[in-house]
Amino acid sequence: MKLSLGAPASTSVPLVVVDSQHAFARLPAGLEAGSFPEALIEVSIDGAEGKASLRLINDTSFPDLTALARSRDSALLFALSGPTDTVFQLELATKKVTALAVDDGPAALATWVDAAGLEWLVVVHQFAGSLVLINLKDPSARRALPAPANASGLLVHEGKAFVAEQARDSVSAIELTTGKELWRTPVAANPRELILAGKSLLVGSLATGVLELLDPSTGAVQGSIEPGPGTPIVGGGTAKYSAQVMNGKAPRGLAWSGRLSTAFVASIGPNIGPNVDQMEVSMNGGVGAVDLGKGWRRHLGFGAGVTEALVLDEARGLLYASDVGLGLVRVIDAKKLASGDAAKALVQEVALRPPARFPSIRPAEDFNVKGRAGASLHAGPRALSLSADGKRLFVLERFTGTIAVLDVSRPGKAGWLEQYAVTNALTQPTRRLGQVLFFADLGRTAMSCDACHLEGHGEGVLFEKTMPLRIYRSTTVRGSRETPPYFTPASTHSMGETAKIVGSRNRFHNPDPSPTEIEALTLYASLIPTPPNPFVGADGAPVLSLVLPDGRTGKPLEGLKLFEGKAGCAPCHPAPQFTTDQDPATRGRFIDVGTPRFMPLREDQQNTRFEGFGTPALVGSWDVFPMLTTGLAGLAVRPDGSVRVDDRFPLRAATEKYAPRHGRADLLTDAERDDLLAYVMSL
């Protein structure tokens, strides 16, 4: 059998037929998608009646700059664009930009000087499962080494590439001269940021807020660190809630000071749980100071924006922090932040400048008034790099497709130098403005879409901004356009309604989004795709046998039969999105399936009224942590009032701990449960 794809794709794809009810396919690379952000393609099966529609999201003409590196002499800068499979090389002297094609889904990059003195660009990929090494003197001279797929982070040191990946949540060490994998260690969910901190490799988990310490020589786990009750908070709206800290939020950036024996962590702040003031959604973007032995010393909160990238000038004692929500670069006195004088640590704020002709989300007169942010929020500073002499700071502006250069030669007096165009960021202009809106903090409330839904995905649990007010899991935006309604209980019934209501509330109605803003934000959010599943075969079909995250083995095709039969999963999780919310006839049903009704943390400060839960989609559940509306599949409350990782395979916890009412996994043998989990991992 073949699946025929209509215009603009105009091709056919072989189907892998499993039985009379199920067939699978993987679409090929390079499909023609036209010039629009998305295309609706008519599909049919060759020789059979009936047609259906397939939505194709056009990322290949939507460059997105997310990583930055420089050559050792700072003459060359490299900016990575994942959707277009490109690394852009910028020669500062000539302003020449060269597009270097790399493998599928470049995710992170670094430079490396080998034993012979040759300098290489090292690129790791989300989808290709490769490390590509490019000779900087002759970019046509390349080497490719095997590496984990679903890579998200990269650190190169002394001939080793340390790679973080988010399919099996691990960090590995690869020898760059031979390609040999030296070790691989499981870590907390969705690792990304990696730095060397003293004698440890420090790994940040986006989904849990945990920092883990590994031995860089062996990969052995040395310990973990996260904030908890009593972690000091200096500045911002959460400063008085130190005692209510329940856990950490995603480490978006890391830096290490050997002189101060301190790690610095960019995040939206320690996660505040239930409290008597009913203070909710506790974003307080800033920088934490961490002692690797004693834990979190303090968090410096700025009360607005979302702190993203960090880079340290050890010689001058200055820490540079980018704010993706406000379009700022902050200059911080590292010693004051580390030593306890954090209230005086902020030295300077520099507002970035979007290119003159870059479109605006609102009229110019709407910025820098009534406590709002400035037009600099259009920049989106995603990554930072300091020149070799420490006199220039390079800032990757994600939204405008440019690199800004700041003069930082005079400590505390950073100033604008120039801006280099890297790529055309306006190939899909409405979608680009929607991206700005998704990340922006126009109202300076410290809240943005990205603050709760990092890069459009989830980020642990929050004491949430909905009623009844209690702790909820922050759900993913990936693929959510297909499964309204949203929130618990349901309060918005479309992506547009969500953009209007949430966009207004994020700003505290200062001001409410305009119709044009709502349109752009809706478009951007609705085009955040669920990544390709790494646990299926190259043909898109489930594999015969799959090793599960906890080391057990299951048979996905046997699990398919159980899912639709004995285990009783399909009535609530029917294909293709695996939720009843996919169908208007069954949408918005709230049910009690025996899972926990609330997280047992300071229950008297939560509204525990129960009206049932919605049915989450299972597509992409291989990359969801924690699970259940409460987050209790994966997380647990400790006696000290903190919330900690309890199970690194939340899918098993969700399936087995809460049977029989949550499906009938209790009727299955151990081997059958493994088969069932293997199938769900393949969705």
pLDDT digits (tens, 9 = 90+) for 370-411: 999 999 999 999 999 999 999 999 999 999 999 999 999 999
Q: What is the pLDDT of residue 99?
A: 98
- Give the percent of the chain with pLDDT over 90: 92
Contact 13, 5 (CB under 8 A): yes
Q: What is the pLDDT of residue 487?
A: 84
Q: Are 186 and 288 within one domain?
A: yes
Q: What is the pLDDT of residue 465?
A: 67
Torsion 285-448-255-229 (CA) sign: positive
CATH number at residue 348: 2.130.10.10
Buried b (16+ CB within 10 A) or exposed e, 475-511: bbbbbbbbbbbbbbebebeebbbbbbbbbbbbbeeeb
Q: Are 486 and 568 within one domain?
A: no
Segment 215-237 mean pLDDT: 97
Segment 561-582 mean pLDDT: 95
| Residues in contact with 44: Cβ distance below 8 Å, sequence separation at least 6, in sequence order | 3, 4, 6, 50, 51, 52
Residue 430 lies in a domain: no
Alpha helices in 397-509 (DSSP H): 429-439, 449-452, 495-506
Average pLDDT, rounded, for the chain: 95
Q: Are 207 and 261 within one domain?
A: yes
pLDDT digit string, tens, across residues 516-568: 999 999 999 999 999 999 999 999 999 999 999 999 999 999 999 999 999 99
Segment 199-228 mean pLDDT: 98
Q: Are 73 and 202 within one domain?
A: yes
Choice among 87-101, 229-243, 485-499 with the minimum mean pLDDT: 485-499
**3-state percent helix, strand, coil for the chain, nearest multiple of 5:** 15, 35, 50
Segment 122-130 mean pLDDT: 96
Q: What is the pLDDT of residue 464?
A: 81
Q: Answer yes or no: is pLDDT of 607 > 70.
A: yes
Q: Are 288 and 352 within one domain?
A: yes
DSSP one-letter string for 245-272: EEE-----EEEEETTTTEEEEEES-SEE
Contact 225, 211 (CB under 8 A): yes
Q: Are 648 and 603 within one domain?
A: yes
CATH number at residue 677: 1.10.760
Q: What is the pLDDT of residue 120?
A: 98
Q: Are 570 and 443 within one domain?
A: no
The span from the CA of 75 to the CA of 36, in Å, is 36
Q: Which two tokens stand for residue 452?
A: 């709760």
Residue 648 lies in a domain: yes
Radius of gyration of the chain (CA): 24
The span from the CA of 399 to the CA of 208, in Å, is 27
Q: What is the pLDDT of residue 491?
A: 85
Q: Are 213 and 360 within one domain?
A: yes
Q: What is the pLDDT of residue 340?
A: 87
Which of the listed residues 482, 498, 526 is the one where a domain comes to its end? 526
Residue 267 — pLDDT band, cuts 50, 70, 90? very high
Q: What is the pLDDT of residue 336?
A: 98
Q: Answer yes or no: is pLDDT of 661 > 80.
A: no
Residue 601 lies in a domain: yes
| Domain extent for 518 | 438-526
Residue 130 lies in a domain: yes
Which of the listed residues 390, 425, 460 is the one where a domain comes to its end? 425
Strands of the sheet containing 318-323, edge to edge, are 307-313, 318-323, 328-333, 346-351
Q: Are 85 and 104 within one domain?
A: yes
Q: Are 455 and 356 within one domain?
A: no
| Residues in contact with 551: Cβ distance below 8 Å, sequence separation at least 6, in sequence order | none
H or E, element range at 510: none
Angstrom CA distances, 389 to 74, 385, 479, stand at 9, 12, 45
Q: Are 152 and 238 within one domain?
A: yes
Let me know if 586 is exposed, middle or buried by CB neighbors in 10 A (0-12, 13-18, 19+). Answer: middle
pLDDT digit string, tens, across residues 416-469: 999 999 999 999 999 999 999 999 999 999 999 999 999 999 999 999 867 789
Residue 651 — pLDDT band, cuts 50, 70, 90? very high
Residue 225 lies in a domain: yes
Residue 534 lies in a domain: no
Domain count, the chain: 4
Q: Answer yes or no: is pLDDT of 488 > 70.
A: yes
Which of the listed residues 400, 425, 450 is the one where a domain comes to its end? 425
Segment 596-621 mean pLDDT: 93
The span from the CA of 42 to the CA of 54, in Å, is 6
Q: Are 398 and 254 within one domain?
A: yes
What 3-state class would DSSP assign to 672? helix
Residue 433 lies in a domain: no
